[in-house]
A and B are shown apart, each in its own frame.
Chain A
Amino acid sequence: MTEVTELIRPEGEALDTKEVLLNLGPQHPSTHGVLRLVLELDGEYVERVDPHIGYLHRGTEKLAESFTYTQIFPLTDRLDYLCPPSNNLAFAIAVEKLLGIEAPVRAQYIRVMMAELARISGHLLITGALPMDLGAMTALLYAMREREMIMDLLEMVTGARMHTSYCRVGGVREDLPDGFVDKIREFCEIFPNRIRDYERLMEKNRVFLKRTRGIGVISAEDAIDLGLSGPNLRASGVDWDIRRDEPYEIYDRLDFNVITRGEGDCYARWQCRVDEMRESIRIIEQCVEELPDGPFQIDMPTIAFPVDKEKVHCSMEALIQHFDLSAYGFNVPKGEVYSAIEAPKGELGFYILSDGSPKPFRMKVRAPSFVNLQALFGVSNARYLADMIAVLGSLDPVMAEVDK
């Protein structure tokens, strides 16, 4: 099955050759941001890869130490900027665990819906970007068309297209707007046909299959050893999804399949994502059906702004509390927590150490892209320069998340 791309050297007298040091990136069309790879090339054959990261380092973790918990949400937006709602969710859940609270059910439904929309938006980009890296432009522009629909939906709910900052500790910022449910139903109806379009464009495309099938195979053992997560792990045949295995929010009430593929090659990783988009649509449909009425925010004036401002305007204590909350944030009890969710790219975890103040003493982000990027070289069988591009594309790293 595996097409081994080992370099065959001619027997006999060796020519006097020298490796070429090629600097790929940080400005390069296929490095998905600002990844820099220093490659040692023997002709087209890659002998060694020396990745340099950090070109997009913004010190998110250090910055977080001087921000209140609510102020950190915009920072999490900028981790994996393709799917901010799930980053927000991961952080909110971590803080809620420290506080020992849980968001109301309606808020949980809304959050899950947003996170799944974000998953589709993230997967859409890679569905188009992998063929694009290999030279086929059209798939990307098709994907962008659908991504635009998701952007519109996000804008409708949150007011922002990219950096949504929609979650809050103990709920979401505001309730769903009127007409949203119809809009998202419409999207759920259209989108599966569009997925079919991408598959039709790529599935029988001989050149695409040649470039991705059997290329960059990562075995299940290697994938686990490296700590891969998300679709990259499931494409290697490991049946692991935090949404199902350690359910958070309302995922245990929902019916969805965990997509796995056995091949572990670039094509499997691509297919895994395409199929996951279908499952996400199913999840969204269920959320829309079951969406309960109720508050979208926890009723704790010390943590969340009250929905009904009447009291704030009339009662001195409520006003003070409101002022306190917006000026100083809320205190989080001493302790530490690690909490992870299944973000589009894999396991997105937040480790928070609290000293009892309104700001985290230390925050550490377990960014899935950072871990997944390790699989670029060494474990897979890809050794040609052009294969490196395919593997990089199929691993789907977002450099903002890698560099933090």
Chain B
Amino acid sequence: MELVVALGLIAFKVALLIAVLLLLPLPLTWMERKIAGHMQQRMGPMRVGWHGLLQPMADGIKLLTKEDHIPAEADRFLFKLAPILALAPPFVVFVAIPFGETVSVLGAEITLYVSNMNVALLFVFAVIGLEVYGVIFGGWAANSKYALLGSLRTCAQMISYEIPMGFAVIGVVILAQSMSLVDIVRAQADLWNIVYQPIGFFVFFVAGLAEAQRIPFDLAEAEGDLGAGFHTEYSGIRFAFFMVSEYVIMVLVSVLVVILFFGGWNGVLIPLPPLLWFLLKVAFFVYLFMWFRFTFPRYRYDQLMTIGWKVLLPLSLANIIITGIVFS
């Protein structure tokens, strides 16, 4: 009986997560367009619903009903597979993400995470790395030069950035003596990691920007030179898959930054429910992502590689050494 309840609970959590994550781009796109509008002295969407609130719905319906075009020369199997490959990994990662400790519902204590793995951090990096296959396949299968160039850039970018990103969190692991994300947050109950790990945070955040392929690192879809990069040839709902994936990764990176460096659901000064604290911090970083997008141009391909290999990698290595010496 207990097993059934436990399994049912997990199934419920997973279903809830998927639903929330799938719907997440709706408010996020609205937010992004509103933020952009107000930063740029205009209103943003205003027509569909109150202050354009229903605009994402309209966009969704439009994308669903668009012609599903596959270029004649494309590799049809890979072309169809790529959006799914891009979409699935960010969703899977959230299995390992804790949103808080527990809440009591009807007298029962329910944990705010699907699974508390002891290798959660490793799992996160392993799965998120798979997302790049979607982008590469998408660019390759479309048989378009713009798409190919876009996915080539992505390959180079991912390798240059996931290594420093991985190294950057080692400092956090040393501090918490654990790879479990729940333990890492618990270890920050008194003082957030950002105090001990400013370099780690910097490297992680910059690499995270690259991971999410947002400006200033959105080279894979640089509209200025590559049209739309790897998803140039995609239309309709397949294109939407890539967009959803991009937004979920953006949230994921924000979530990871909060968990690893900003104390997760631990609040300061104002006593708010832990979950609310957590979401507020995540929202702040999501906002930061959007802010960047409307402030910075994008780096050039070789400049981006230079930053990855010559700046972030040495920094993250130095961070490991310093952390190791100080806390050993």
Question: Beta-carbon contacts of B29-50 to A below 8 Å, as 1s and 0s?
Answer: 0000000100111100000000
B295 & A136 in contact (Cβ 8 Å cutoff): yes
Q: Does B240 contact A (CB under 8 A)?
A: no
Assuming A141-B40, A386-B222, A387-B300, is B294 touching A28 (CB within 8 A)?
no
Does B328 lie at the interface of the complex (its beta carbon under 8 Å from any beta carbon of A)? no
Chain B residue contacts of A211, Cβ below 8 A: 297-300, 303
- For residue A350, CB closer than 8 A to chain B, the reply is no
Is there an interface contact between A141 and B42, defined as CB atoms closer than 8 Å? yes
Contacts known (A141-B41, A205-B295); A135 close to B224, Cβ less than 8 A: yes
Q: How far is the CA of A29 from the CA of B227 in the complex (A)?
A: 7
CA distance A339 to B321 in the complex (A): 70
In the complex, what distance in Å separates the CA atom of A201 from the CA atom of B297? 11
List residues of A (122-159) whose CB comes within 8 Å of B's CBs: 131-138, 141-142, 145
Q: Which of B145, B224, B293, B296: most chain A CB closer than 10 A?
A: B224
Closest CB-CB distance, A267 to chain B, in whole Å?
12
- Contacts known (A135-B297, A210-B299, A384-B301); A22 close to B145, Cβ less than 8 A: yes
- What are the interface flags for B292-327 relative to A under an 8 Å C-beta threshold, 1 for contact and 0 otherwise? 011111111111000000000000000000000000
Distance in Å: Cβ of B184 to nearest Cβ of chain A: 32
B46 nearest CB across to chain A (Å):
16
Query: In the complex, which residues 45-84 of chain B have their Cβ closer than 8 Å to any Cβ of chain A?
Result: none
Q: Which chain A residue lies CB-closest to B219?
A: A386
- B294 contacts across to A, CB distance below 8 A: 136-138
Establish whether residues B149 and A44, one from each chain, have CB atoms under 8 Å apart when the complex forms. yes
Contact call A142/B41, Cβ cutoff below 8 A: yes
Given the interface pairs A29-B224, A135-B215, A137-B36, the reply to whether A20 lies near B145 with Cβ below 8 Å is yes
Our pick among A135, A141, A389 for the contact of B216 (Cβ within 8 Å) is A135
| B227 and A134 contacting across the interface, CB-CB below 8 Å | no
A205 touches B39 (CB 8 A): no
Q: Which residues of B contact A23 (CB under 8 A)?
A: 145
Most buried by B among A22, A41, A136, A208: A136
Contact (Cβ within 8 A) B224 A205: no
Once A135-B215, A141-B42 are accepted as A-B contacts, the answer to whether A389 and B224 lie under 8 Å apart by CB is: yes
Complex Cα gap A202–B166 (Å): 32
Q: Are B301 and A44 in contact (CB under 8 A)?
A: yes
Are the CB atoms of A28 and B295 closer together than 8 Å?
no
Contact across chains for A134 and B301 when beta carbons are under 8 A apart:
no
Are B41 and A5 in touch, CB under 8 angstroms? no
| CB-CB under 8 A for A138 and B224, given A44-B149, A145-B41, A210-B303 | no
> In the assembled complex, which residues on chain B have CB atoms less than 8 Å from the CB atom of A20?
145
Contacts of B296 in A (CB 8 A): 135-136, 205, 207-208
A387 and B301 alpha carbons, distance in the complex (Å) = 10
Assuming A131-B297, A205-B295, is B224 touching A30 (CB within 8 A)? yes
Residue of B with least CB distance to A388: B225
Within 8 A of A (CB), among B141-157: 145-146, 149, 152-153
Closest CB of chain B to A391's CB: distance in Å? 12
In the complex the two chains form, what is the Cα distance from A386 to B297 in whole Å?
A: 12
Q: Please tell me if A385 contacts chain B, counting CB pairs below 8 Å.
A: yes
Interface residues on B, range: 20 to 34
What B residues does A132 contact at CB under 8 A?
A: 224
* Nearest opposing residue in chain A for B152, CB measure: A43
Residues of the B chain whose Cβ atoms lie less than 8 Å from the Cβ of A44: 149, 153, 301-302
Q: Which residue of B lies closest to A7 (CB)?
A: B302
Distance in angstroms between the alpha carbons of A207 and B299 in the assembled complex: 6
Query: What per-residue 1/0 map shows which CB atoms of A369-404 lie under 8 Å from chain B?
Result: 000000000000000111111000000000000000
Q: Is the CB of A138 within 8 A of B300?
A: no
A1-43 interface bits toward B, Cβ cutoff 8 Å, 1 = contact, 0 = none? 0000100000000000000101100001110000000000101
Evaluate contact between A30 and B225: CB separation under 8 angstroms: yes
**Bound Cα distance from A132 to B303, whole angstroms:** 19
Q: Tell me which residues from 215 to 256 in chain B have a Cβ below 8 Å from any Cβ of chain A.
A: 215-216, 218, 222-225, 227
> Could you say which residues of chain B place their CB within 8 Å of the CB of A28?
227
B300: nearest residue on chain A (CB-CB)? A386
* CB pair B40 A207 closer than 8 Å: no
Q: How far is the CA of A299 from the CA of B41 in the complex (A)?
A: 47
Cα separation A389 to B41 with both chains bound (whole Å): 27
Q: B4-35 interface mask toward A, CB cutoff 8 Å, 1 = contact, 0 = none?
A: 00000000000000000000000000000000
Given contacts A5-B302, A44-B302, A136-B297, 15 further A-B pairs with CB under 8 A are: A22-B145, A22-B149, A44-B153, A44-B301, A131-B297, A133-B224, A135-B224, A136-B294, A138-B39, A201-B295, A207-B298, A208-B297, A211-B300, A211-B303, A389-B224
Of all A-B residue pairs in the complex, the 6 with the closest CB atoms, nearest first, are: A134-B297, A135-B298, A141-B40, A136-B297, A135-B297, A386-B300
Between-chain CB contacts (< 8 Å), 24 pairs:
A22-B145, A22-B149, A29-B223, A41-B149, A134-B224, A134-B297, A134-B298, A135-B215, A135-B216, A135-B222, A135-B296, A136-B296, A137-B294, A138-B294, A145-B41, A201-B295, A205-B297, A207-B296, A207-B298, A211-B298, A386-B222, A386-B225, A386-B301, A389-B224
